[in-house]
Amino acid sequence: MRHRVVAVVGSIQEMYPVTCASAVFGYHGPDIPQHYDFALCTEKPGPVRTTVGVDIIVERGLEALEDADTILLAGWCLCPDLVSGLAEGVLAAHARGARVMAICGGIYVPASLGLLDGRTAAIHWELTADLARQYPRVRTDAGVLYVDHGDVATAGASATTVDLCLNQVRREHGAALAMRIGRQLSAAPHREGCQRQYPQLPTTGPIPDSLAPLLDWITANLDHPLTIEDMAVHSGLSPRTLSRHFTDQLGVSPGRWLLDRRIASTRALLEETDLPVETIAQRVGLSSAVNLRRRFHKALHTTPAAYRRSFR
């Protein structure tokens, strides 16, 4: 029998992760083996409103979870206290060996059931603080495409749905099949990089008035080998007081803020110019191409060259 993948949808449903999953687990023509069946279910069968402004007709209710081999929870609206019976269905399916895949806000379901306690989970960077507050036993990571524990897998952003689904194909049927399906979808069977390429870094956003002049000065002198002592002298504070202000007002140390700003500037130059990496390293104050590549890879889990290819 084919592996049954059942996606749980709810109003108002974002269609992108659902259609991505159906593209991977659906029919690919007579030349590619079909190992999966893909279906939808919802709390109340019938019309389900979507974010594209039209309804989809879902014929099966949550009883579809009873014979699912993989349950896909894809969307921002899924939460056990909002959808009656969902928690029980997912927990029972997991207990009998079904795989649970949670994408975007779908992560709240396995988190609330304790399936992610003590485990790392990929999460959308906008949800990190809220999930940590509600479920502190989950080790969230907003900097990876997905995390797969076998029985439970998570992906933080809608755009990583294909990555997570192809990963399942690769685990169950090998890299060759994942490559064939990925090639048909024009998607890599294993993509470099992580979510950190796309969300804002901690150095962006509202700047406290008391630190604004200093942060402007740092940004203007980014190509210089700045130290916390240099920042303290410019701001007229002691290094210890300056560090306290950064931590209280920005949530990071001065050194962390400076490095994040340098990485952010590196990203912009890679996206918008053809400058060689050595030149970029000098402009952002990372001294050499070797140091830039090391720092960049540690921050984004990809290389400057791969990052530039992704955007240009």
pLDDT string in tens for the chain (312-residue length): 899 999 999 888 999 999 999 999 999 999 899 999 999 999 899 999 998 889 999 999 999 999 999 999 987 655 545 456 889 999 999 999 999 999 999 999 999 999 999 999 999 888 888 899 999 999 998 878 889 999 999 998 888 899 899 989 988 998 778 878 887 886 555 555 554 444 444 444 444 557 788 888 988 899 998 999 999 999 888 999 989 888 887 778 899 889 988 998 898 888 888 999 999 999 999 999 999 999 999 888 889 998 888 766
Structure tokens given for 147: 């995390």
At 312 the pLDDT is: 62
Q: Which residues of 87-114 are buried (b: 16+ CB within 10 A; e: fewer)?
A: bebbbebbeeebbbbbbbbbbbbbbbbe
Strand partners, 147: 154
Strand partners, 50: 13
CA 258 to chain CA mean position, Å: 24
First and final C-alpha spacing in the chain? 43
Contact 149, 119 (CB under 8 A): yes
Q: Which residues of 4-23 are buried (b: 16+ CB within 10 A; e: fewer)?
A: bbbbbbbbebbbbbbebbbb
Cβ contacts of 156 within 8 Å, gap of 6 or more: 103, 104, 107, 122, 123, 124, 125, 127, 142, 144, 145, 146, 195
Degrees, nearest 5: CA angle 80-105-249: 120
Does this model's pTM top 0.75? My answer is no
Please name the amino acid found at residue 309: R
Degrees, nearest 5: CA angle 135-44-111: 10
Half-sphere exposure of 306 (CA within 13 A, CB side): 12
Task: Determine whether 39 is exposed, middle or buried from the number of CB atoms within 10 Å of its CB (0-12, 13-18, 19+).
Answer: middle
At 177 the pLDDT is: 86
Cβ contacts of 14 within 8 Å, gap of 6 or more: 50, 51, 74, 75, 76, 104, 158
At 204 the pLDDT is: 43
